[in-house]
Amino acid sequence: MKNPLDSIWGTIISGVILTAILYLAVAKFLV
Amino acid sequence: MDLVPVFARWLHFLAGVMWVGLLYYFNFVQVPALKAAGADGTAGGITKHVAPRALLYFRWSAVVTWVAGAALLGGNFVSAFTLAKGYAGIGVGAWLGTIMLFNVWFLIWPNQQKILGMKPATDDEKNKARRVALLTSRTNMMLSIPMLFFMAGGLTHKAAFGL
């Protein structure tokens, strides 16, 4: 599988997915 | 008016714009430009005159951003970094920024010194350094997206973000 960080769009999409995961984790477990 | 949080916030924004702005410059502009310049033999101008200056402001604006952010947190510093109740949002932002600062000084900068010939390195070491520097820079770009989300909520607007 290609590393998503090899492309700009792969990097941006990974960042948005990471934002959603962290948001859900914080909202569910840490607020 | 308490001047410390006012100036810390202002400086945090100024330096942060420079840091993340240069990070996006590297990823959106310089990396593709170097690829194109390498093809027609004009990359030397970028690596000799542009990249060292950009890296200078990049790594030091990262430090100023972190220090101003720590000053802005003030007495909330420990609560943020331990993700205490009510501080988890800004705490996650602070941790992401801290990881990015570490990446700048301990992965991007040492490898860029090899790539730009500021430190002696064989061709093999330079090729490895290029890969590590690129992936670390891309990692920081990826981390900047959630980092800015949680920083935007901060301590004052967290309710608007549902945190």
- Exposed, middle or buried: residue B6 (CB in 10 Å: 0-12, 13-18, 19+)? exposed
User: How many contacts, defined by CB atoms under 8 Å, are there between A and B?
Assistant: 51
Q: pLDDT of A1-30, one tens digit each?
A: 899 999 999 999 999 999 999 999 999 988
Q: In sequence order, what are the residues at sequence separation of 6 or more whose Cβ sits closer than 8 angstroms to the Cβ of residue B159?
A: none
Which residue is closest to A27 within chain B, CA to CA?
B163
So what's the pLDDT on residue B58?
Answer: 98
Structure ipTM over 0.85, yes or no: yes
Euclidean distance between CA atoms B12 and B70, whole angstroms: 9
HSE-up of B49 (CA within 13 Å, CB side)? 5
Q: Using a CB-CB distance cutoff of 8 angstroms, which residues of chain A are in contact with residue B150?
A: 22, 26
Give first-to-last CA distance, chain A, whole Å: 36
What residues of A are in the B interface, CB distance below 8 Å?
A: 3, 5-6, 8, 11-12, 14-16, 18-19, 22-23, 26-27, 30-31
So what's the pLDDT on residue B25?
Answer: 98
- pLDDT surpasses 80 at A31: no
- Spell out the per-residue pLDDT of chain B, length 163, in tens: 789 899 999 999 999 999 999 999 999 999 999 999 999 999 999 999 999 999 999 999 999 999 999 999 999 999 999 999 999 999 999 999 999 999 999 999 999 999 999 999 999 999 999 999 999 999 999 999 999 999 999 888 888 888 8
Q: How close A29 comes to chain B (CA, Å)?
A: 9
So what's the pLDDT on residue B156?
Answer: 87
Is the CB of B85 less than 8 angstroms away from the CB of A16? no
So what's the pLDDT on residue A21?
Answer: 98
